[in-house]
Structure formats: C-alpha cells, structure tokens
Structure 1
Amino acid sequence: MPDLPASNRLRIGRYAESNRIYLITTNTRDREPIFKDFNSGRAVVNQFRCAQDQGFANSLAWVVMPDHFHWLVELQQGSLCDLMQRTKSMSTKAVNQFTGRKVTLWQKGFHDRALRREEELVKVARYIVANPLRAGLVEKLGDYPLWDAIWV
C-alpha cells in the first residue's frame, strides 16, 4: 500500500450503500475540546437533525464528546463523504457564528464501519451513548446532555 496520510488511507475501499447502517466517528482539529461548550455541541446535534429532516440519513444514536463524535446512522441518499462534508461544513459555520471565531473545526477525514448484523445495533448504540461515562465526564448517563438513541 502506498504511504498516504491517514485521512487518505481512510478513503481507500470506502463504499457507501443506501439503507446500510454505519458507525461514523470524527475528531475535532488537533483534538481541541470545542464541545465542552454546550452550545457549540448543540450546533453538531442540529446538523444530525438536519441530515435526518432532509432525508440524507436516519440518526439511530449519537454522542458529541468534547473533541469528537460518534454517530450511528442509516444512510438514505448520497454518500457518506457527502453526509460528513455537509455535517462538518454546516456545524463549523454555526459554531463560528456563535463564537465569533473563524476556525477550522474538524480534522480531515472520518472513520466509518458498516454494521453487518441487526442484533449489533443496540449493543453499538449502548457503546456510543456510554462514552461520557467511560471518559469520566459524568457519573450517570442522564447527566450528559449531548447524546440520544432511538431505543431510549
């Protein structure tokens, strides 16, 4: 395999399929904890909702951590790259507008994994929403404000 930057290696062999469920993860640039600020985190959440309202993806579970997010989605139309480009772009605009800054919010690229078995979904959703507990950000899941899952 050629020696490519990590963001390019993530794209090799990527194939997005409508109606397939994916776990998507991406980090903020330099892992800056931008989403320690609740309102900045809500800007990302709003983009998850916009993606669903516009028919691009069904959000099944998500958590916005201080420096990254995990998003379990069923892709409806377009590609994962299009979905992520739109989500990152619009959330960056919203956060910059809210904070009065002009910064690059996200690292290049993202990680995705297609889920193979129906029974994995609840297990993966539990893993996603339990991130704040494992990170020691809260003692009870209900105390963390930036998560949701359709099974809860």
Structure 2
Amino acid sequence: MRQKPNSHLLRRGRYSESGRAYLVTAVVYQRRSVFTDFFLGRLLVAELKQTHDLSLVDSLAWVIMPDHFHWLFELRSASLPQVMQRVKSKSTLTINRAIGAQGAFWQSGYHDRATRAEEDLIQIARYIIGNPLRAGLVEHVGDYPLWDAAWL
C-alpha cells in the first residue's frame, strides 16, 4: 500500500518572523534530477538572487542539488510563505519555458526550520554547501558549481 505524501502537514503551525534566519528545502516534483543540467540550475539561482535583490530576504547560503535545493536566508520584507511561493512559482515558469514543459515542477509544500539565536549560521552554511560532498557528487566543494555562501 502506497503512503500518502505528508506535505500538507508541513504547513501546520508555520510562523515566520522578519529578521529570523530560516533553512528551507524544496524538492522537484517526482524527484526528477533536472538540476544535473547546469543551465537549469542557474535559472533557479537567478530566482534566488532576485528574491535577495528585492530585499525580501538576505540570502546567506544555498546549494542546488540534482532534485532539490537547500537555502539559508534571513527574512526581510516578506513572510516565509510569500518567499517560497514566489521562488517556486517564478522558477517553475522559467524552467518549464526553458525545457518546453508545463505543469507542476516542484512538489507541493517545503520543509523549513527557523534557526535559534544561539545557533551558528556559518556552521549551518557549511552543512548546506557540504551536501554535494556527502552525496558523492564531487570530491571537493569547489568542484560543485551550484552553491554559494555570504561568508566566501
């Protein structure tokens, strides 16, 4: 028997606070490995950057894996749901246009975790950008093209 997805549970009790840092993860629909295509990964990067440039967030670190992304940011002038809705909808349009597709690109929902004041954001950023190493995609972080951190 196939289990139902639990993405609807991710929305319960969600609260966002301006000035707080969040670590979010969003997954590509059906976990397709679309971001093995560097060009498609850069389209998502452009959306993350635009969200930062519009002062909706202060982007601290991100990595785009083949079928998902992790992003650490501090909320500025938008709520967490607004930021994620914007990034997911705009990237869906851009990427679908680039590959000649339509319909769902991201799985519904996303995972988020608010950081606590005592947590070391640089340590969280290191964890994020270390994902390609732990996944065996590269031997050195610098060999992976789809990541960035504010401290580098």
Shorter-chain TM-score tier? over 0.9
For normalisation by structure 1, the TM-score amounts to 0.94
Query: What's the CA shift string for 1:20-53, capped at 9, x where partnerless?
Result: 1000011101111111111111111111100011
SS at match of 1:71: strand
What is aligned with 1:12?
12
Code of the aligned partner of 2:18: S
Between the aligned partners of 1:59 and 1:74, the Cα distance in structure 2 is 6
Code of the aligned partner of 2:147: W
Mapping 1:95-134, distance limit 5 Å: 95-134=95-134
Gapped regions of structure 1 (runs ≥ 5): none
Distance 1:5 1:140, change over 3 A: closer
Between the aligned partners of 1:119 and 1:16, the Cα distance in structure 2 is 17
Shift of 1:117: 2.7
Code of the aligned partner of 2:57: A
Code of the aligned partner of 2:48: F
Shift of 1:100: 1.6
What is aligned with 1:23?
23
Query: Over aligned residues, Cα RMSD in angstroms?
Result: 1.3
What is aligned with 1:76?
76
Between the aligned partners of 1:64 and 1:103, the Cα distance in structure 2 is 21
SS at match of 1:139: coil
What is aligned with 2:38?
38
Between the aligned partners of 1:127 and 1:41, the Cα distance in structure 2 is 20
For normalisation by structure 2, the TM-score amounts to 0.94
Runs (4+) of structure 1 moved beyond 6 Å? none
